[in-house]
Structure formats: structure tokens, C-alpha cells
Amino acid sequence: MSLTAEPKPAEAASMPDLKFRARFPLLTLIVERLLLSLMLLLAVSVLIFGGVEALPGDFASTYLGQSATPQAIANISAELGLDKPVVSRYFSWLGGALQGDFGTSWASRNSVSEQVGRRLGNSLFLAGFAAVIAVPLAIGLGMLSVHFRNRMPDKIINVISLAAISLPEFFIGYLLILYFAVNFGIATFPATVYESMGLLERLKAIALPTATLVLVVLAHMMRMTRAAILSVMSSAYMETAELKGLSAGRAIIKHAAPNALAPIINVVALNLAYLVVGVVVVEVVFVYPGMGQYMVDAVTVRDMPVVQACGLIFAAVYILLNMLADILAIVANPRLRHPR
């Protein structure tokens, strides 16, 4: 009779999985993040489709006007497929979206995918240019604030950042319009970007929207960078480095900043996601021909294919950037890169 207990079937089946996790912890966490992101995107697609379906009103009635007859409304509904069951329409829409086909706009009868492609390019151009300015500026100001902590430069940076966080983006946008476009006339307004514009003309046209986005996200990234580096500065090895005669600036750049990389990556990724998703308000304020303006115009006429496409793309961008932030934070962890 054996004194060693044999593992149960469930335990035996889980043993290879545990061995794989122990041997490849980095790869396991990355795969888990990928699967979780896909599941989250699927759940968001259900919420977007169901939320748009639950909106009050009817496109056919809005499109035809108050004088529309019931028969005309029924004909439009049948033409657009609105007489089909909701579940059938959802899977048809999801299947098309997975292939890059978001259907046809009910209002303009143009391809949604083509319109979204042009509008998304404009939004990404605006958000990307704002990110190029905001990210290095925020990290630099955060490190500068740590270097002069509790002194006058640190206090000035904190006061300005608190003021920027307290003001909503539409208020900042209107202030910039008032002073730079109306009073001084040194900025273009409205910032309408056309495909025929050259790069310099586009940069001039998006100056005010870019400044608004930079001011909105700069303070949050700077304060989180400062907090992350200050947390590392209180570690024992940082005190040892300072006792050995390493200057405060070199200690921050060479030791503190690299070890605070994970939280900095997370906050930068979150703010990059906001730059893409949160451009809706800024685009409406500046009449900018991007995804946000396109979606707002579609909501007013209940153009459901456009609203659903914009919502799904915004959600996909937000989830993708958060997933990349998680993966980069995992890769930046030396314990996972070099398991024992």
C-alpha cells in the first residue's frame, strides 16, 4: 500500500499550467492581458450596440420629418434592416466590424469606414502632436519638481498644475480662443484641417486645440511622475547613492527615473488614451473635423452606424493603450524579466 497520495485528476491537469506559469511568468501575464482585453472589447461592443438601440426616438421619423406617413416610416425601417431582431442585427454589425466594414451611413448614404478613416486620421494627428509636446514636457517638469522639491520652482509648478487640473477642457479652449484668436488674432480659428493643407498649415490650424489638450493632460502626468520618483527617492539604495556623493540630478536621472518607470508608463498611457478618446469636447469647441465632431453630428440625427463605429473605435483605442501600458509595466519589472 502506497503512503503517497495520488494527485486528483483536476490537480494533475493544473500541474502543467502551474509549471508553465512558473517557467514563463512574463509570457503568461502578457497572454492573460491580451485575452482580457479581447473579452473586454467584446463586452463593450454589446454595451455600445445596446446603448445606441436604447436611445429615444427613431431615425426614420427624424429623417422623414413630422409629416412622414406610417407607411413611409415602415419602408425606411425595412430598407435599413431595422425590422430585424436586435440580436441578428448585432451579430451582423459585429461581423462586419471585425472585417473593417461598419456599414453605410443612414444620413449621408456614404461608407462609414471611408468617413471614419479620414476623420480618425485627423483625430490621431491632433492627439499625436499634443502627445509629442505633453509627454516629454510632463516628465521633464516632474523630474524638475523633484529636484527642487519644497522650494520655489516646485511650488510654482504645483500651483500651475493644480490650476490646470481644476479647469475643464472646454473652458480652457474658449479662453484660448478669446485671447489668441479674437483679441490678438495670432491664431487660426476655426481650426478646420483639409486634406489639401500642407504640414505647416495643419500645424498652424491645430495650434489652439493642441494647446488645450496639452494643458489638460500635462498637469496629471507631471504630478504622477513627481509622486512616482519621490516614492523611489525614499528607498534605501537612493540614500546610499546620495551618501556616496552622487548629485541629486544624476541620482534622479540615473537611478530614480528608471525604477519609477512602471507607474510613469501607466499614467502616460492613460493620458494618451484620453488624448484620443477625450478629443470629442475639444473638436466640438474648435469645429475640428475629427472623430469626435463626426460622432456628435451623428448623434443629433440618430445615425446609428456612425455612432456605433465611433464608439467602438474609441473603446478599442482606449483598451489597446491600457493593455500596452500593462504589458510595458510587466516588461519593465526586473523580477519578471529575470525569474529565478
CATH number of the domain bearing residue 188: 1.10.3720.10
pLDDT digit string (tens) for 177-201?
888 877 776 765 544 555 667 777 7
How much is the pTM? 0.77
Tens digits of per-residue pLDDT, 262-298?
Answer: 778 778 888 888 888 778 888 888 888 888 888 888 8
Half-sphere exposure of 275 (CA within 13 A, CB side): 32
Residue 46 CB-density burial (10 A; 0-12 exposed, 13-18 middle, 19+ buried): exposed
| 40 in any annotated domain | no
Structural domain span for residue 270: 112-337
Does residue 87 lie within any of the structural domains?
A: no
Domains in the chain: how many in total?
A: 1
250 found inside a domain: yes
Q: How many whole angstroms separate alpha carbon 69 and alpha carbon 148?
A: 72
Looking at the domain assignment, is residue 170 inside a domain?
yes
In a domain, 106, yes or no: no
Does residue 91 lie within any of the structural domains? no
Residue 137: inside a domain = yes
For residue 234, give the 3-state DSSP assignment. Answer: coil
- Is 267 part of any domain? yes
Average the pLDDT over each of 32-41, 168-177, 329-338 and give the range with the smallest value.
329-338
CA atoms 252, 255, 258, 263: torsion sign: negative
How large a percentage of the chain has pLDDT more than 90? 4
Q: Any idea which residue has 498611457 for its cell?
A: 269
